[in-house]
Chains A and B, each alone.
Chain A
Amino acid sequence: MNSFDIIGPVMVGPSSSHTAGAAKIGNIARKLLGTPVQDADIYFHGSFLATGKGHGTDKALIAGLLGFPVDDPRIADSFRYAEENGMKYRMSGIDLGDVHPNSVKLILTGTNGRKMEMVAASVGGGAIQVTEIDGLATNFSGDYPTLVVSNLDQPGHITEITSMLSHKSINIATMQVYRSSKGGHAVIVVECDQEVPETAIRWLAHLEGILNVTYLGLKDKA
């Protein structure tokens, strides 16, 4: 913690969790998709659903999907910018069950046709957690370059990822491994201290048994 966790962030109001956090979720989703968003289905859960309209959670999320940062004054008018950018969206409520009260589910299609489903929560003070990608559980903050690999649950894939990172001199900050069932789908989430180069990601994506690789770079390429 430092002084700017206390004095700051500079943000568009009214709420760090319901406004700034929502904008950050939109931002992270766009970066994970890796391309501008063409179409979005947005489902608000819990407190996001109950008070989101009053907190501008809807506007902040759309702003995030457009790539606007949390202190961008355009957040208040994001619906208009979405229209100008040809981004389509629909919003509704949902009960996601026993998840964080400030949760939202997004079903996105990128301008290049790529599809992604994501569930994320705004956990306070503008910090977020991505809790699900394409139906598989994850748990990362979006504050680090993050590699999300979906693969078949079989031996060797962790080694492939870690040896690639080692080869590129990338340090692993955290690593989580989940699976849907034995021998079924698995997902490996690796938070890194350095950016992962695109060539390495492409190499990984072509390996047998690797179903999909999603990468969150901190630089916006979309």
Chain B
Amino acid sequence: MYQSFQQIIEIEKNTGKSFWEIVRDDDCKEMEITPEDAFQKMTEMYEAMRSADSSYDPTLSSASGLVGRDGEKVAAARRNGTLLSGSFLGLIMEKAIKMGESNACMKRIVAAPTAGSCGVIPAVFLSLQEEKKYPVEEMVKALYVSAGIGGIIAQRASVSGAAGGCQAEIGAASAMAAGGVAFLLGGDAEAISHAAAMAMKNLLGLACDPVAGLVEVPCVKRNVIGAVNALTSADLAGAGIRSRIPPDEVFDAMRNVGRMLPEDLKETGKGGLAATPTGIAFRNNLKTF
């Protein structure tokens, strides 16, 4: 996978290939498969996201009892027209919460890039497809764009909360989704890179502080901010706005911030929200074997 946005921007300039094709072609080499098989495999990922979304069960709560049943509340508010964010953003919020809850309730999801952040990309992509009626092929290309961005982040920084904090999970997912949307809006590799960079800048330094060490609080609701942030960042890029700090430098900053974050804020369940009196009480009430 590519290690920098600059590399992809230059390949686009020199060959005329689109961001997603550049990522896919690299995959084909790495996996020794045909472009058709690669595209088919990514299509399966998108369909798995769709089926995870549609199999949400509003009656389920997680084993700990900390999360569940909230997706339906957003859905109801959206149906009643009471959301200030409006119907489209409301749909994104609803799907993000639902996917996060499905994950916590042991349903089948697609890690993107992680299980804890699995709601961000599907919430944005599935809502956008419902709203704008993009063909599936366009969505799969956008997913390739997201994968390419995730690959750059994984190599320059990290896509693991234990290594880089939540900026490496919800932050990374948000940057990946933002780039995908920038592509759907007709953006070139430069616009895609800046959408991803602007999304990450908003979530830089986000702590990974799961209550009782579980992928539930605050993870589920953070999928919402990751998704909405992706949309606004892509819109900024689409409007022609650029990050003053070049994209590759933004993700280098992310790596450095991740290193500076104390261990207590990197998935250990020892700091932040996990260390509040209520967070500690939840942990103490947790059943073990």
Task: Please report A residues at the B interface, Cβ cutoff 8 Å.
Answer: 1-16, 19-20, 44, 47, 49-56, 58-59, 71, 73, 75-76, 91-93, 124-125
The interface size bin for chain B is 35 or more
Contact of B110 among A7, A15, A44 (CB under 8 A): A7
Residues of B within 8 A of A52 (CB): 288-289
Closest to B150 in A: A6
Q: How many Å from the CB of B274 to the closest CB on chain A?
A: 11
**Contact yes or no, B109 A10, CB < 8 A:** yes
What are 23 A-B pairs with beta-carbon distances under 8 A?
Answer: A1-B1, A3-B147, A3-B151, A4-B41, A5-B154, A7-B110, A10-B48, A10-B110, A12-B106, A12-B107, A12-B109, A13-B103, A14-B105, A16-B115, A19-B106, A19-B115, A49-B289, A53-B63, A53-B286, A54-B64, A55-B214, A55-B215, A56-B63
Q: Which residue of A1, A5, A13, A47 contacts B106 across the interface (Cβ within 8 Å)?
A: A13
Q: Is B96 an interface residue (CB 8 A)?
A: no
CB <8 Å contact, B146 and A7: yes
Select which of A2, A9, A12, A93 is within 8 A of B288 by beta carbon: A93
Known: A1-B1, A13-B107. A125 touches B160 (CB 8 A): yes
User: How does the 8 Å CB contact mask read for B105-132 relative to A, with 1 for contact and 0 for none?
Assistant: 1111111111110100100000000000
A-B contacts, CB under 8 A, total: 145
Q: Is the CB of B289 within 8 A of A53?
A: yes
| Contact across chains for A13 and B150 when beta carbons are under 8 A apart | no
Question: In the complex, which residues of chain B have a beta carbon less than 8 angstroms from the beta carbon of A7?
Answer: 42, 45, 110, 112-113, 121, 143, 146-147, 150
Q: Which residue, of A8, A20, A73, has the highest number of chain B Cβ atoms within 10 A?
A: A8
B213 near A8: Cβ-Cβ < 8 Å: no
A13 touches B147 (CB 8 A): no
